[in-house]
């Protein structure tokens, strides 16, 4: 077995999702390589070289990879793929943008969001918003999969140093061009990796009212999430959406406030260890998955909660 | 500009599916079916581009069983001009869907192909990216804004840490996210009119592409249910339980 993991990073640091993806790749067995693409990424490379159990660190440092355009990175991967039995990426927007494009170039199928590895050819993945689990098997020259990071622990770092191999292939294209990005700035922990997540729904009533939630989150050192309805209504940013088509979270503690508990929302948080629901409607379906339910008006209970923490 | 929109027939988003007790699949008996919600957004966007004068024709295509005609009729009622059904009773994996769509792209030469970001049944999120690769076109995935400017489109993508803007040369492939638009409801007259719009029916197998599944489904199971919890009477009780019982804070 010879798995390759495609790393993700924010220029300076590796993303936590990559560390979980490496763990998944190590479960396949054999020597695991890690590919890092980008421009001016030496600090990420230094960090990644110390991931435990990485055999080779492939580094493609060139302006053509700066914006992580799938058109370019898929071509780079095409040149590498014959060396590998498996190519894994995190099931993030970046991984989901890239891996299917590579799969089609290689003429192989791709698995999305695997949550369990049974053997090198057999995997489990959720379908129908997590209401069913499919055990799937495939025989391909290279098996491509995106990995749901909440299902695998992060790989630790160590003192050894992986072998670094610099790639100088340049793959540019003149069909797609990066224009700008508008990144969310927050001092809070990242949603996907936070130990505690506090999420608000339509019941929050307005974006300003999210400050009630933020105050509680600050006391707990928690990340803040939202339902689709809250995002659609403009109460919260798109990258805060938890659910089937947003982010998947599985923290130690998930507090859902003013969220009814639609199938699509549950899909994103029902693997949390402890779930708390605060909702004024005792019949809200969220109470069916909550370990602790509080039937109350959030405008009364959130300030109280902030005070008692 | 000609636009091709790919639409899929799926189990209605409001239904919580049940797994068959022999673990071979999902209980589809009498299950309500619908147009995949993301595909509805894709159709709406194409129609808006036609209404604003950017597009000249909107073609919708679905790959699936004969009954997928119902979803094509829905798309026609929303305003698409004509429909193509590539009929098959097989389960078609994203790579094969993309290959079939690539054939249609070759035939129809649309400047823009719009897909949903994800089928809500198989939760794959692959087809648009695969089609873009097979046709050598640039891709704009998970878009929440689109504007056309001569030979290019400007898009905003919803990404994990915010929003990203790209410019793509036409012809291009895009996949739509939830916040691109809010689809309209079809009016009764447009539903009547849609009945007279053409649906070109062809067999998916007639394209000479090997459509047999490459991913074997060994079993479909129900995930572990959560144990039912308890109601607490006050915020103070909640905080107490979280500290002493659950030990999470
Ligand atoms: C294709 C598709 C994809 C989707 N993807 C997602 C997804 O990824 N994530 C997601 O979340 N949803 C998703 N949805 C939407 C989902 O179906 C629900 O519509 C959404 O989750 C509802 O959000 P909500 O619970 O905030 O709103 P509502 O269902 O309107 O619930 C609001 C709740 O707030 C409570 N409330 C109101 N006022 C108060 C108060 N003062 N105090 C306490 N409680 C109060 C109400 O009792 C109610 O239960 C998707 C839907 C579709 C069709
Ligand atoms: N059988 C199909 N027929 C037509 N379009 C499809 C089909 N399957 C997938 N698509 C398109 O591809 C998008 C993404 O689907 P998927 O990659 O399966 O998650 C859908 O929203 C559709 O636009």
Contacts of residue A100 in chain B, CB cutoff 8 Å?
Answer: 94, 125-130, 133
Q: Per-residue pLDDT tens for B7-20? A: 999 999 999 999 99
Residue B170 has pLDDT above 90, yes or no: yes
Whether B53 is in a domain gets the answer yes
Closest CA to A206 of A221, A226, A223: A226
Distance from Cα A144 to the centre of ligand 1, integer Å: 34
Task: For ligand 2, say whether the CB of B58 is within 6 Å of any of its atoms.
Answer: no
Cis peptide before B13 (omega within 30 of 0): no
Sign of CA dihedral B109, B114, B117, B119: negative
Ligand 1 atom nearest A299 alpha carbon: 41
CATH number at residue B98: 3.40.50.620
Q: Per-residue pLDDT tens for B109-121? A: 999 999 999 999 9
Q: Please, are residues B22 and B11 in contact by the beta-carbon 8 Å criterion? A: no
> Quick one: average pLDDT of B209-221?
97
CB within 8 Å: A239 and B162: yes
The secondary element (H helix, E strand) that includes residue A280 is none
**What pLDDT score does A185 carry?**
85
Distance CA A188, CA B200 (A): 53
Mutate which: B15, B94, B133, vs A, most A CBs within 10 A: B133
Task: For ligand 2, say whether the CB of B122 is within 6 Å of any of its atoms.
Answer: yes
Domain total for chain B?
Answer: 1
Residue B228 has pLDDT above 90, yes or no: no
Task: For ligand 1, say whether the CB of A260 is within 6 Å of any of its atoms.
Answer: yes
**What pLDDT score does B227 carry?**
86
CA distance B184 to chain A (A): 16
Structural domain for B160, as ranges: 2-244
Task: For ligand 2, say whether the CB of B62 is within 6 Å of any of its atoms.
Answer: yes
Among all bound ligands, the one having the nearest atom to the CA of B173 is 2
Distance from Cα B178 to the centre of ligand 1, integer Å: 14
Interacting residues of B168 by C-beta distance below 8 A, sequence separation 6+: A175, A176, A177, B138, B139, B140, B152, B153, B155, B174
**What pLDDT score does A186 carry?**
86
Distance CA B37, CA A110 (A): 23
Interacting residues of B176 by C-beta distance below 8 A, sequence separation 6+: B38, B41, B42, B45, B114, B115, B116, B117, B142, B143
Interior CA angle at B96 toward B93 and B101, to 5°? 125
Q: Please, are residues A176 and B138 in contact by the beta-carbon 8 Å criterion? A: yes
Whether B249 is in a domain gets the answer no
CB within 8 Å: A274 and B242: yes
Among all bound ligands, the one having the nearest atom to the CA of B99 is 2
Q: Which of B125, B158, B249 sits opposite A253 (nearest CB)?
A: B249
Interacting residues of A126 by C-beta distance below 8 A, sequence separation 6+: A113, A115, A132, A133, A134, A148, A267, B123, B223
CB within 8 Å: B231 and A295: yes
This model of the complex carries an ipTM of 0.97
Q: Mean pLDDT across chain B, nearest whole number?
A: 97
Whether the model clears a pTM of 0.95, i.e. scores above it, the answer is yes
CA B186 to chain centre: 18
Whether B233 is in a domain gets the answer yes
CB within 8 Å: A293 and B248: no
> Quick one: average pLDDT of B73-79?
97
Q: Per-residue pLDDT tens for B89-132? A: 999 999 999 999 999 999 999 999 999 999 999 999 999 999 99
In three state form, how does the secondary structure of B83-124 look?
EEEEECCCCCCHHHHHHHHHHHHHHHCCCEEEEECCCCCCCC
Distance from Cα B124 to the centre of ligand 2, integer Å: 9
Interior CA angle at B157 toward A132 and B179, to 5°? 65
Whether B9 is in a domain gets the answer yes
CB within 8 Å: B164 and A180: yes
Task: For ligand 1, say whether the CB of B11 is within 6 Å of any of its atoms.
Answer: no
pLDDT in single tens digits along all 309 residues of chain A: 999 999 999 988 999 999 999 999 999 999 999 999 999 999 999 999 999 999 999 999 999 999 999 999 999 999 999 999 999 999 999 999 999 999 999 999 999 999 999 999 999 999 999 999 999 999 999 999 999 999 999 999 999 889 999 999 999 999 999 999 999 888 899 999 899 999 999 999 999 999 999 999 999 999 999 999 999 999 999 999 999 999 999 999 999 999 999 999 999 999 999 999 999 999 999 999 999 999 999 999 999 999 999
Ligand 2 atom nearest B123 alpha carbon: 19
Task: For ligand 2, say whether the CB of B115 is within 6 Å of any of its atoms.
Answer: yes
CB within 8 Å: A135 and B95: no
Which chain A residue lies closest to B127 (C-alpha atoms)? A100
Task: For ligand 2, say whether the CB of B80 is within 6 Å of any of its atoms.
Answer: no
Distance from Cα B150 to the centre of ligand 2, integer Å: 27
CB within 8 Å: B133 and A100: yes
């Amino acid at each position: 077995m010879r798995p390759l993991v495609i790393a993700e990073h924010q220029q300076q640091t590796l993303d936590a999702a990559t560390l979980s993806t490496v763990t998944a790749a190590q479960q396949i067995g054999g020597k695991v390589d890690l590919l890092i693409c980008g421009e001016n990424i030496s600090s990420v490379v230094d960090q990644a070289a110390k991931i435990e159990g990485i055999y080779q660190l492939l580094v493609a440092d060139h302006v053509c990879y700066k914006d992580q355009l799938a058109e370019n990175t898929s071509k780079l991967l095409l040149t590498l793929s014959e060396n590998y039995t498996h190519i894994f990426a995190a099931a993030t927007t970046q991984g989901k943008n890239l891996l299917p494009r590579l799969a089609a170039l290689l003429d192989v199928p791709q698995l999305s969001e695997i949550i369990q590895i049974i053997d090198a050819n057999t995997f489990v993945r959720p379908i129908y918003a997590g209401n069913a689990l499919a055990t799937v098997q495939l025989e391909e020259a290279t098996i491509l999969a995106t990995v749901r990071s909440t299902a695998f622990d992060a790989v630790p770092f160590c003192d050894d140093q992986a072998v670094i191999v610099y790639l100088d292939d340049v793959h540019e294209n003149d069909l797609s061009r990066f224009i700008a990005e508008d990144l969310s700035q927050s001092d809070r922990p990242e949603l996907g990796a936070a130990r505690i997540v506090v999420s608000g729904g339509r019941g929050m009533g307005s974006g300003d009212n999210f400050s009630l939630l933020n105050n509680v989150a600050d006391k707990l050192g928690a990340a803040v999430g939202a339902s689709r309805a809250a995002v659609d209504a403009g109460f919260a940013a798109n990258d805060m959406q938890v659910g089937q088509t947003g982010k998947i979270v599985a923290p130690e503690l998930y507090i859902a406030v003013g969220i009814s508990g639609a199938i699509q929302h549950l899909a994103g948080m029902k693997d949390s260890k402890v779930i708390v629901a605060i909702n004024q409607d005792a019949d809200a379906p969220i109470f069916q998955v909550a370990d602790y339910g509080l039937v109350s008006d959030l405008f009364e209970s959130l300030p109280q909660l902030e005070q008692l923490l | 500009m000609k636009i091709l929109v790919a639409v899929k027939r799926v189990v209605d988003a409001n239904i919580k599916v049940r797994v068959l007790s022999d673990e071979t699949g999902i209980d589809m008996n009498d299950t309500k079916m619908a147009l995949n919600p993301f595909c509805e957004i894709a159709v709406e966007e194409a129609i808006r581009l036609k209404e604003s004068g950017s597009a000249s024709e909107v073609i919708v295509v679905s790959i699936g069983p004969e009954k997928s005609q119902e979803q094509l009729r829905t798309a026609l009622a929303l305003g698409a001009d004509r429909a193509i059904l590539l009929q098959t009773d097989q389960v078609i994996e994203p790579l094969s869907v993309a290959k079939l769509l690539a054939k249609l792209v070759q035939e129809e030469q649309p400047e823009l192909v719009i897909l949903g970001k994800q089928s809500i049944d198989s939760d794959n999120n692959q087809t648009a990216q695969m089609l873009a690769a097979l046709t050598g076109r640039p891709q704009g995935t998970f878009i929440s804004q689109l504007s056309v400017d001569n030979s290019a489109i400007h898009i905003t993508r919803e990404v994990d840490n915010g929003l990203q803007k790209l410019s793509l040369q036409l012809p291009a492939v895009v996949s739509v996210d939830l916040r691109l638009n809010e689809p309209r409801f079809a009016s009764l007259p447009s539903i009547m009119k849609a009945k007279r719009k053409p649906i070109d029916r062809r067999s998916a197998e007639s394209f000479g592409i090997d459509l047999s599944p490459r991913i074997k489904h060994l079993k479909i199971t129900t995930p572990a249910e959560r144990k039912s919890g308890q109601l607490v009477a006050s915020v103070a009780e909640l905080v107490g339980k979280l500290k002493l019982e659950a030990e999470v804070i």
